[in-house]
Copies of this chain bind each other. A is one copy, B any other.
């Protein structure tokens, strides 16, 4: 960028004052074009980097080098404003940076290597030979490669490459903790369900910069697709001579099918035994913990200590974090 202005991240821009001039390098996540009354072009952009997302408006007086396309990385110089309560940048100079790798501008899972290491450790943990062999069969090298780069959701939670890995590791960890608390739980079965529960998300989203459902994902859903993937793997194991227990197959598939917990959330059956129920609870806990953490960092709220109303969750979130210090200030 020709401006020698310091480049800011989305997060830093959000923390800046209105009216200030800022610069940064971002990925175009979404683009809407419209014609102005003078017949010239304008665009509304959704920009992002690894620290977050922000809106931008591009009027015809913006100096534009290159073509604005979804998935392109741009350098931008502009002013911070506010529209309908949301911060946005009014662009003055934009330059498309073809040489930049868009993936570097996606929110990235932190500590992927550590997560992979924990995941691999979980894979080796079951002592039950049937469960152990099933997990090995499912997580082939190819599947793992996809698995490590898939988001856990299109919106709401862990919606970035590696999010599925991160979410799966957290759910598995929470399930093992529950098995510590309740010795009557079958530890291997529960872990198996945790590792496999969102498996089919590798096929539910299209390969692309931002997660998009596949046709298969929309017509069948990852819940049923996952159950069928398990069937496929068990068929393979049996064709190799393994006498995989029939009831165990049904129980593992039941855990996948029931992990949304209730019919209205898309599970065709509800959890009928404790391991299926614990898996549902922990899946739900980790998804919502992600939301709470994201909300606490969200500074858009117009009321002190509260986020704006979130219509999906039908609530505001309280962002104040109480922490004892020797000189804690009372209010």
- Beta-carbon nearest neighbor of A267 in chain B: B268
Q: For the complex formed, measure the closest distance between the CB of A249 and the CB atoms of chain B, giving whole angstroms.
A: 9
Q: Known: A130-B324, A268-B224, A292-B273. Is A212-B263 also a contact (CB below 8 A)?
A: no
How far apart sit A83 and B328, CA to CA, in the bound complex (Å)?
49
> Are B322 and A83 within 8 A (Cβ)?
no
Q: For the complex formed, measure the closest distance between the CB of A88 and the CB atoms of chain B, giving whole angstroms.
A: 8
Determine the chain B residues whose CB is within 8 A of the CB of A267 once the complex forms.
Answer: 268
Asked if A113 is at the interface of the complex by the 8 Å CB criterion, the answer is no
Asked if A137 is at the interface of the complex by the 8 Å CB criterion, the answer is no
**Size of A's binding interface in residues, CB under 8 A:** 104
Determine the chain B residues whose CB is within 8 A of the CB of A330 once the complex forms.
Answer: 243, 245-247
**Docked complex: A175-200 residues within 8 A CB-CB of B:** 177-178, 180-182, 184, 186, 188-189
A73-91: CB near B (< 8 Å → 1, else 0) gives 0000001111111001010
- Beta-carbon nearest neighbor of A319 in chain B: B273
Determine the chain B residues whose CB is within 8 A of the CB of A243 once the complex forms.
Answer: 330
> Are A316 and B218 within 8 A (Cβ)?
yes
Determine the chain B residues whose CB is within 8 A of the CB of A223 once the complex forms.
Answer: 268
> Are A37 and B57 within 8 A (Cβ)?
yes
How far apart sit A224 and B220, CA to CA, in the bound complex (Å)?
10
Asked if A15 is at the interface of the complex by the 8 Å CB criterion, the answer is no
Q: For the complex formed, measure the closest distance between the CB of A237 and the CB atoms of chain B, giving whole angstroms.
A: 13
How far apart sit A272 and B131, CA to CA, in the bound complex (Å)?
36
